[in-house]
């Protein structure tokens, strides 16, 4: 089955939920209206369907290989990446000042989904490069920006993020990589970094490593971490790659999924000379700068979850329409029929579809908030949109990636025994998706951020502001008068009320009983993500009813999917509320020695 980009759904979200015409009124985005969005998305679809997607299965079966410090990517990847760079796709959202196209995130996120649906392993290289670009744009000196940004934005060079060490996973206070100052203002780096995505490969002329390390004498813990640029090849005065830096790939990991993406172990100072690095920003502010990369990557990983879910859904739906097994229970077909006739298969396909479309809608609205936060002329509007976007990031990352596990697992189930056979391809989506709730901060880390920084810190004020927007949508649904809108309004109201009760619980107990609150942090994230995705589908239902005549079959499908989500997925929320508010004590009831 070939991947087909879901252009209609993407453009529906961009038009009706993200409101691209309002984004096109923001300074710098005047040429980025619906017509531009459609043209860019259609071209992105052609490239990803024709060039990138055909390499996905090949990458799983013939992954990147390491030999004596050299990594060779899957055949076809190098040429596809050159086409990706030549098409300007790396620079889609980045500033025109450095060779980018300066388009809104609202458009870029949809293109990113297509790239990840086509080939998750391939897409990881530009994803990390985007993070490096964001960090240098925010904290890099003019000299660093002049040296690196144009080549990163063009895709001529790629970027990495070097945080994790063998003894320091999510706890970056334990980072030991050291930076020794040199007389010329540069530094020598010594240390080992693990889990470095595309830390070594053959697809670009240079690899720009952004590295967390400690300058000698720095404070202990996270307050003593600095950020450095240490390229694979040092850069000559004319901007060309020069002498090889003292950083080597000593191995790559053998993984459950995303096998074509080389996950490197990098040794800085392997030859004893030290890898030459340049400081980004100020000493001891590295974690602050790295989180610029992390937040960009976290949103992008959420989009990866949506992308792999879409691919799994397409494959499962195609299989269900072709696979003939058993008579339908309603007798609508005399003999055996394709399994799509069976109610439980329909239930699984609808679950896959509703979850994927709900998260896509949520991510699109979050991207629009990001665009407004960075470009709106009114300071208060920028502030409000930034707060909304920051609340959305752990939901997009956490809920969308956890959702992808459910959807890809259902994809295997729809295939039955054939899904357990590698040749059908359903299993690859399941395996590839499994990393998504882990890297760039596990679901628990996203949930802790949602509880601590996004909910408890302001006493639930921001969360309740979102609940108020949901309630306004309920009123619109009630005013619609249709049976579908009424049904969705009822379920949305119950979910919102449960969300509000959990917010009150978190705000009231985060200091007095932190174990009780954090025992329910991941369920809270899933509850909040479920609510917001359902809310966006409800908004979509209203738009579909209003514009039904434009494309009746598509609009009716949007209405049916929103109602299914409300009745089968939003209904999970009250139970999650009970587990969080009433079930905290049982989480920690067993003594540690009982495990």
* Per-residue confidence in pLDDT tens, the chain, 595 aa: 799 999 999 999 999 999 999 999 999 999 999 999 999 999 999 999 999 999 999 999 999 999 999 999 999 999 999 999 999 999 999 999 999 999 999 999 999 999 999 999 999 999 999 999 999 999 999 999 999 999 999 999 999 999 999 998 888 889 999 999 999 999 999 999 999 999 999 999 999 999 999 999 999 999 999 999 999 999 999 999 999 999 999 999 999 999 999 999 999 998 899 999 999 999 999 999 988 888 889 999 999 999 999 999 999 999 999 999 999 999 999 899 999 999 999 999 999 999 999 999 999 999 999 999 999 999 999 999 999 999 999 999 999 999 999 999 999 999 999 999 999 999 999 999 999 999 999 999 999 999 999 999 999 999 999 999 999 999 999 999 899 999 999 999 999 999 999 999 999 999 999 999 999 999 999 999 999 999 999 999 999 999 999 999 999 999 999 999 999 999 999 999 999 999 999 999 999 999 9
> So what's the pLDDT on residue 270?
87
Given this model, what pLDDT does residue 25 score? Answer: 98
Res 290: pLDDT: 86
Beta-strand pair 241-244/233-235: antiparallel
Place of tokens 């739906």: 317
Q: How far apart are CA 382 and CA 378, in angstroms?
A: 6
Of 113, 165, 440, 545, catalytic:
440
Give 569-592 as a DSSP string: TGGGHHHHHHHHHHSHHHHT-S-G
CA angle 234, 237, 238 (to 5 degrees): 105
Q: What sign has the CA pseudo-torsion 391, 394, 398, 400?
A: positive
For 474, phi then psi, to 5°, come to: -60, -40
DSSP-assigned states of every residue in 269-296: TTTSS-EEEEE-SSTT-HHHHHHHHHHH
Residue 272 burial (CB count, 10 A)? 7
Say if pTM beats, i.e. exceeds, 0.95. yes
Nearest partner of 386 among 13, 110, 105, 12, judged by Cα: 105
CA distances to 73, 181, 274, 366, 551 from 278, in Å:
29, 10, 12, 34, 55
Is 253 among the catalytic positions?
no
- Nearest Cα neighbor of 202 from 69, 53, 51, 50 is 69
């Amino acid at each position: 089955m070939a991947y087909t980009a879901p252009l209609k759904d993407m453009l529906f979200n961009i038009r009706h939920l993200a409101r691209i015409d309002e984004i096109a009124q923001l300074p710098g985005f005047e040429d980025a209206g619906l017509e531009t969005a459609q043209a860019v998305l259609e071209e992105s679809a052609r490239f990803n369907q024709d060039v990138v997607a055909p390499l996905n299965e090949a990458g799983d079966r013939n992954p990147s290989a390491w030999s004596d410090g050299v990594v060779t990517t899957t055949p076809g990847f190098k040429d596809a990446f050159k086409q990706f760079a030549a098409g300007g796709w790396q620079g889609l959202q980045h500033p025109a000042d450095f060779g980018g196209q300066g388009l809104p995130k609202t458009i870029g996120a949809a293109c990113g989904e297509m790239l990840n649906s086509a080939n998750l392993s391939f897409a990881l290289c530009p994803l990390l490069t985007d993070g490096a670009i964001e960090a240098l744009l925010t904290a890099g000196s003019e000299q660093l920006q002049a040296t690196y940004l144009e080549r990163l934005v063009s895709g001529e060079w790629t970027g990495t993020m070097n945080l994790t060490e063998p003894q320091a996973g999510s706890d970056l206070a334990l980072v030991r990589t050291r930076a020794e100052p040199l007389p010329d203002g540069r530094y020598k780096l010594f240390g080992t970094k693990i889990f470095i995505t595309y830390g070594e490969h053959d697809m670009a002329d240079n690899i720009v490593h952004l590295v967390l390390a400690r300058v000698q004498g720095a404070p202990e813990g996270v307050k003593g971490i600095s950020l450095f640029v240490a390229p694979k090849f040092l850069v000559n005065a004319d901007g060309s790659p020069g002498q090889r830096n003292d950083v080597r790939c000593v191995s790559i990991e053998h993984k459950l999924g995303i096998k074509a993406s080389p996950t490197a172990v990098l040794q800085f100072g392997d030859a004893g000379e030290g890898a030459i690095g340049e400081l980004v920003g100020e000493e001891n502010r590295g974690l602050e700068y790295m989180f610029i990369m992390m937040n960009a990557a976290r949103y992008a990983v959420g989009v990866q979850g949506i992308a792999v879910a879409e691919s799994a859904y397409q494959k499962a739906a195609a299989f269900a329409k072709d696979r003939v097994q058993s008579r339908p229970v309603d007798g609508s077909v005399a003999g055996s029929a394709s399994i799509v006739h069976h109610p439980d298969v329909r239930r699984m396909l609808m679950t896959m579809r509703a979850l994927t479309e709900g998260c896509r809608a949520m991510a699109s609205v979050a991207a629009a908030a990001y665009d407004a936060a960075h470009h709106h002329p009114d300071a208060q509007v920028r502030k409000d949109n930034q707060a909304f976007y920051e609340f959305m990031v752990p939901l997009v990352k956490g809920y969308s990636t956890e959702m992808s596990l459910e959807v890809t697992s259902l994809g295997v189930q729809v295939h039955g025994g054939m899904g357990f056979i590698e040749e059908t391809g359903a299993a690859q989506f399941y395996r590839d998706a499994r990393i998504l709730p882990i890297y760039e901060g596990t679901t628990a880390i996203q949930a802790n951020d949602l509880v601590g920084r996004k909910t408890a810190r302001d006493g639930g004020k921001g969360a309740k502001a979102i609940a108020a927007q949901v309630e306004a949508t309920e009123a619109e649904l009630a005013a619609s008068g249709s049976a579908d809108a009424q049904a969705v309004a009822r379920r949305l109201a119950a979910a919102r009320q449960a969300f509000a009760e959990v917010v009150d619980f978190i705000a009231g107990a985060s200091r007095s009983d932190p174990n009780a609150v954090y025992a329910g942090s991941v369920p809270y994230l899933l509850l909040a993500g479920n609510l917001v995705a359902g809310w966006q589908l409800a908004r979509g239902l209203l738009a579909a009813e209003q514009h039904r005549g434009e494309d009746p079959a598509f609009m009716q499908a949007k209405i049916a999917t929103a109602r299914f989500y409300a009745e089968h997925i939003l209904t999970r929320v009250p139970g999650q509320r009970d587990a969080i508010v009433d079930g905290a004590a049982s989480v920690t009831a067993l003594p540690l020695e009982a495990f």
